[in-house]
Every structure is written in C-alpha cells, then in structure tokens.
Amino acid sequence: MTFIRPRRKITQADWAKYMQKRAPLAQDTAIQRFFEAPPPSLDTPIAEVPMVALDMETTGLDERRHAIVSIGLVPFTLGRIKLAERRYWVVKPPRPLDEASITFHHITHSEIANAPDLDEIIDPLLEALAGRIVVVHFRHIERPFLDAAIKARRGEGVMFPMIDTMSLEARLHRQKLWARFRRWLGRPPVSIRLDASRRRYGLPSYQGHHALIDAMATAELLQAQIATHYEPSTPLSALWT
C-alpha cells in the first residue's frame, strides 16, 4: 500500500471512557456486547494484553465508495499467535467488483457470488474482537471501513483502540532525527509497508494480499517489534493509538 493519507493530529483518546459511554446507548445487541467488554487498561503490560490481528481486503481505499471483500483475524498474545482460533470471511460487497481490484486481492466473482453480506458476520466478528486490542498494519483502512460498513447495516458505527504496526515502524524510521536527516539528504524514506517492515526483523516473506495471511503477518511483526524495541513490561498506552 503506497498510499498514505496526510497525517492527522495524534490525540491519545480515552478509549475506556468512550466505550463505557457507548455501551448503554447501543441499540444493537451485538454492538452493545462489544462495548460492554472494554479493552485492557492503559497501564497493562503488553505481555498480558489479549490481542487480535485484523486485516481486510477492500475494493478500494475510500470507505465511502468502496466495500469490504474479505476479513481475516487471528487472536494472539505477545507469546503466541493462535492459528487454531483464526477466522476468515469472504463477504459480498453491495457494489459489483471491478477487475482491477480482483487482480489485487485474488478474490474472484464466483467466490463473492456465494458469499454472505457483511451483515451476517458482524455478530461473530464483534465477538472475536471484544475485550481484545485490535492490531492492524495501517489503521486508516480497517477502522473507518468497519465503522462505515457497520453503520450502514446496523445504524450505528463501532470505534475502538488499535495498535498499528505501521505507525510503530513510522516512529522508528520516519520520525527519528536520522530519518529526517536522510530525507534532507534526498534519500528515499525507509519503506514501512508490511513486507518491507517484516524483512527488517528477519521475518519470512508471505504471499501478500490475503486478509488472513496479512493478519498473521501483522501479528508476527508486532511480536518482532516489541521483542526488538520494547519490553514485555511496556504498558499498552505506549503502543496504541
């Protein structure tokens, strides 16, 4: 994904308070249950945080015009990525697929034709995310897409805290003094795309653009980032956004 939106101002939101407030207001039972299981508190050491890596393939990059095609997730902790508990769904987007996106994520018309609407998977999806910190690579896709898609179907959206492995890479490679110096010298910035980031930690290359494989790859990347630059005792607040 070469596309990066202009940086927004980072504000450390009080997610616990937000979710607590949303719970009693929720109309939809699935959404209510989701908000009733708040994420771990800010000072929890990362080693104790239950997480879930999430990735989705979409027909494009704009949540207002494009739709979700597939969602993959893998629950994990700092110690173990639990493949046995993985979930993967292909969903039917409300608008037909265009050919360009097919070549991108390899999901074909016939697969989509037999797939359910996202509405049918919202319940199990939210259940899988509840109480866990969601980990993604580049949060500006997953969060707005999910929010928009759920709002379209259930009348209310879902926002929640995330750890973004791309932001963590950006902190190391884009915002440090050395990185600015490199830019000043006219060197290309270090790539913080998923595969390039993984390579810096000695992680193998995976066949990309499959939501579940990318979710797994993201979980592995976070383990590697924490093992390399942080401690198991690093509090959640230092990592999430």
Partner 1 sequence: MDVELLEIRQHMGQHPPFDRLSDSLLDKIASRVEVSYFKTGSDILALNETMTDLCYIRSGAVEVYRRQGDLYNRLGEGDIFGHFSLLRNQKVRFPAKAIEDTLLYFIPKAVFQQLCEEDEDFADFVEVERPRLETAAEQQKKSNDMMVTRIRKLVARYPVMVEASTTVQQAAQQVSQAQASAVLVLKEDSTHPRYSFQDSEGKTWQVCGILTDSDFRTRVVAEGLSPQTSVGEVVSSRLITVQSDVSIYEAMLTMLRNNVHHLPVLYRQRPMGVVHLSDIIRYETHSGLYLVSNIFHQSNIEGLARLAPDVSASFVRMVQEGANSHMVGSALSTIGRSFSRRLLELAEEKLGPPPVAYCFMVNGSMARNEQSIVTDQDNALILSDDFIPEEHDAYFKALADFVSEGLDACGYTYCKGDVMATNSQWRQPLHVWKSYFTDWINNPTPERLLHSSIFFDLDSLYGEDLFVEALQDLIAEKAPQSPLFLAAMARNALNRTPPLGFFRTFVMEKDGKHNNSINLKRRGTAPMVDLIRVHALACGSKAQNTFQRLDDIANTQLLATGMSDKLSYAFEFMCMSRIRHQVIDLQEERVPDNNIEPENVADSERHTLKDAFQVLSNAQKFLKFRYPVPANRTGR
Amino acid at 177: L
Amino acid at 153: R
Which stretch, 14-22, 26-34, 128-136, 219-227, contacts partner 1 (CB under 8 A)? 219-227
Which stretch, 30-38, 41-49, 183-191, 208-216, contacts partner 1 (CB under 8 A)? 208-216
Structure token pair of residue 190: 């270090």
The footprint of partner 1 on this chain (CB under 8 A) covers a number of residues equal to 26
108 binds partner 1 (CB under 8 A): no
Q: Could you report how far apart the first and last alpha carbons of the chain are, in Å?
A: 20
Q: In whole angstroms, how close is the CB of 157 to partner 1 at the nearest point?
A: 28
Binding to partner 1 (CB under 8 A): which residues in 43-72? 72
Sheet holding 68-76, edge to edge: 87-90, 68-76, 51-58, 133-136, 162-164
Distance CA 141, CA 170 (A): 16
Looking at the Cβ atoms of 152 and 203, the one nearer to partner 1 is 203
220 binds partner 1 (CB under 8 A): yes
The residues pairing with 89 across neighbouring beta strands, listed in sequence order, are 71
**Which residue among 31, 133, 223, 240 contacts partner 1 (CB under 8 A)?**
223
Question: What is 55-66 written as a DSSP string?
Answer: EEEESSS-TTT-
227 binds partner 1 (CB under 8 A): yes
Summarize as ranges the residues that interact with partner 1 (CB under 8 A): 72, 76, 79-84, 86, 88, 201-204, 206-207, 210, 212-213, 216, 219-220, 223-224, 227-228
